[in-house]
Structure 1
Amino acid sequence: MFALDGLRLLAALSVVAYHYTARVGSWPKKPEAIFPAVFPVTAYGWLGVHLFFLISGFVICMSCWGKPLRDFFVSRVVRLYPAYWFGVLATTVTLAVFPKGNRHLPWTDVLTNLTMLQEPLGVPSVDGAYWSLFAELRFYVLFAVVAWWGLTYRRVLVFCCVWATASMLFAKAEPGPLRLLVMPEYSWYFIAGIAFYLMYHFRPNLMLTAIVLLCFGAGLPATLKMWRSTEAYVGRLVPAWPVVLILAVSFALLGLVATGRLSWIRWRWLTYAGAVTYPLYLMHQMIGWELFHAFSPRVPTYPLLALVTIGMVLLAWLVHRYVERPLGRRLKKGLVRL
């Protein structure tokens, strides 16, 4: 689906733009002073992660339909880990070689990061962008239950309703294992993505539309809570209304995909663009920041920004072509034999 690849690219570039032109710490000076023209827009780029969550709900449901739980497990491991392992090691080496910005973690913490379970184990992440991966893992654990049961329209619909109910009940609960698993801060976006897929696979109806609208409204409080923390991340509190607008556009775009309104998009280059989004997301932040800190005194700002951005996209493609694909094939063969 070319439109989905296009949305992946949009989400990835939004996050990259946020980290490169709005996030405090990315440059020796405040990005707002360096990029005054784009800062008011890119300060909201963190919402690209929420678009990723929407897409993930859609894609995971689509890729698992009609397949056994074992295939679901193998596909997720093969998809997530090869590029992630490279990203962890590449970022660590970069931080060791360019010690001008952030220091690399102890090697014991790096080894823990390779499991992708550093957050529940209380270990810092090699790269701050990895926080969203643990949310994805929790979604996979929950969705594995219904995948084991067997995916049907009714069962997936029940899963969405049960997860939504649990999210409401745990929204104000104290931190604990069940709240961690339910993740009421982000669950609404995964649930909406699943509902959009049911629209795509079957047909839109009032029930699915109601679920999507419920998820949009119920997800706002936690997302606006994240918005309030932007003062610490970008240097000042930006207006709140664009958060609601951007989320509405994200939901609308996936709704257009679900109803076939974007099926006319068949640009084949989007397939390649979609392939690089995951490696790009994994590697762009800390590596880019180190390069900005190392070379900004000697290279003009905008050329350096362009070079680093293009370089990270090219690196992401090389990782996809020469690490993710071959290592993924070997990993898949090994897991299938188990």
Structure 2
Amino acid sequence: METSPPSAHAKSRIVFLDYLRIFAFVSVLVGHKFGTYLVPLSNDPTVHSSVRTLASWVLPLVTGGGVGVVVFFLVSGYIITHVLQSEATTEFLVKRAFRIYPLYFVAVLMEYTIIALYGSPVSVGALIAQLLLIGDLFNTPPALAGVEWTLRVEVVFYLIMAAARAGGLMTHARRWLPLAFTLLIVLAAVTDPVPNTGSFTHGYLTIYGPFLFVGAMFYLYQTRTTTLSWLLLISAIALVQYYRLIPPLHPVWAAADFVAPALAIFWAAWFFRDYLGDARIVRLLSDLTYSVYLFHNWFFESIKVWLSAFGVNVLPPDVQALIVLLLFCYAVVRLVERPAIRLGRKAYSALSRRRAGRQESSPVSPKPDRAANASLQTP
């Protein structure tokens, strides 16, 4: 939640994205930590058929957390394109850094500390590469029990979009964005999967990166910057790329379909966006998205071990761990994530004031005629 008044906050908040964020983190959390309950439940003849049917419907939406991850990318593509309509390149990069890295640092350093206490942590050099999200350049395995790979893909997308903003593709040349997105996806399609520095990467950027562009296209279509044809074309190219590369690179997921359900869910939420109401609980759960994503896959098991060691057996172990995880994530949102976001705004404001001061103090050769003409042309 922001610190602005409720009325101003409600106007600035894109509510349908809150619902999608909630679905995404629930899908990933259930898929990673509770999916094993759904498989036997969907096939248990001693359970009522309606329960088995419900479990079989839910299972494809949470298996491996894949649908949730694709929804994450679609949401990110949409919101980053929206943000860059008003934020210049430097402002965007500064605020994104403070939005992503501080809480991420906390999560990675906590994981590193726990592994160091109970096992063999990665080297300091590998830890630094993980912290900076540049591990693909050094064949460094992802942190946070593997989920770090999505953030590596996100950072590449941020840099591409920041370059697009700097090159005017977010302002006066927006009509060229769909073509630029298409060329990038096609370039990835005709080259080796990226990254290709080790077996752990499996071409994640090439497979999943295009869906960030699809999310961006939704925003461009909504704001009438592009056409439905362009949106459908880029969505089709991304789908083909996914279906082409999943079997050879991820044969274990060849029988699953993450993208069709994700696109259907995003389309539905976007189409009915004016009917999705804002609510305090929706904002609260949406604000937990990033922290739950960072901590769930590795911290969940540690919580279970610690609760068992202290003899806490009030509820089933997984339920207890889930409650503690959510409370912990709420705490780090309040103590780390929100203050870091505010600090990012202050850092950019300070940087802007410093730049303005340098410009005012720098000598400028007077050009009276041009200055007068410019002042007359200013609306």
TM-score tier, shorter chain, comes to 0.7 to 0.9
Partner of 2:319: 306
Count of aligned positions: 312
Partner of 2:158: 140
Cα distance in structure 1, aligned partners of 2:101 and 2:194: 32
Q: 1:220 aligns with which of 243, 248, 260?
A: 243
Question: 5 Å matches for 1:34-49?
Answer: 36-37=40-41, 41=59, 42-49=62-69
Worse overlay, 164-173 or 10-19: 164-173
Unpaired segments ≥5 residues, structure 2: 1-13, 43-54, 352-379
Q: 2:141 aligns with which of 115, 124, 127?
A: 124
Unpaired segments ≥5 residues, structure 1: 23-30, 231-238
Identity over aligned pairs, percent: 22
Query: How much has 1:210 moved relative to structure 2?
Result: 2.2
Superimposed CA distance per residue, residues 6-62 of structure 1 (whole angstroms, 9 cap, x where no aligned partner): 11111111111222135xxxxxxxx57x97327972434233212211111111111
- Judging changes above 3 Å, is the alpha-carbon distance between structure 1 residues 196 and 226 closer, same or farther for their aligned structure 2 residues? farther
Question: 5 Å matches for 1:64-75?
Answer: 64-75=84-95
Partner of 2:273: 262
Cα distance in structure 2, aligned partners of 1:327 and 1:173: 31
Q: 2:177 aligns with which of 136, 156, 159?
A: 156
Superimposed CA distance per residue, residues 59-94 of structure 1 (whole angstroms, 9 cap, x where no aligned partner): 111111133111211221121012111111232334
Query: How much has 1:277 moved relative to structure 2?
Result: 0.5
Cα distance in structure 2, aligned partners of 1:146 and 1:194: 12
- Compute the TM-score of the two structures, normalised by the length of structure 2: 0.72
- Judging changes above 3 Å, is the alpha-carbon distance between structure 1 residues 294 and 175 closer, same or farther for their aligned structure 2 residues? same
Q: Is contact 1:196-1:208 (8 Å) kept?
A: yes
- Compute the TM-score of the two structures, normalised by the length of structure 1: 0.80
Secondary structure at 1:119's aligned position in 2? helix
Partner of 1:274: 286
Partner of 1:58: 78
Question: 5 Å matches for 1:229-268?
Answer: 229=252, 240=255, 243-244=256-257, 246-259=258-271, 261-268=272-279
Q: Is contact 2:21-2:286 (8 Å) kept?
A: yes
Question: 5 Å matches for 1:11-30?
Answer: 11-22=24-35
Cα distance in structure 2, aligned partners of 1:7 and 1:226: 28
Q: Is contact 2:193-2:206 (8 Å) kept?
A: no
Query: How much has 1:228 moved relative to structure 2?
Result: 1.8
Q: Is contact 2:194-2:203 (8 Å) kept?
A: no
Cα distance in structure 2, aligned partners of 1:337 and 1:286: 37
Letter in 2 for 1:119: D
Secondary structure at 1:144's aligned position in 2? helix
- Judging changes above 3 Å, is the alpha-carbon distance between structure 1 residues 288 and 72 closer, same or farther for their aligned structure 2 residues? same
- Judging changes above 3 Å, is the alpha-carbon distance between structure 1 residues 160 and 257 closer, same or farther for their aligned structure 2 residues? farther
Letter in 2 for 1:124: P
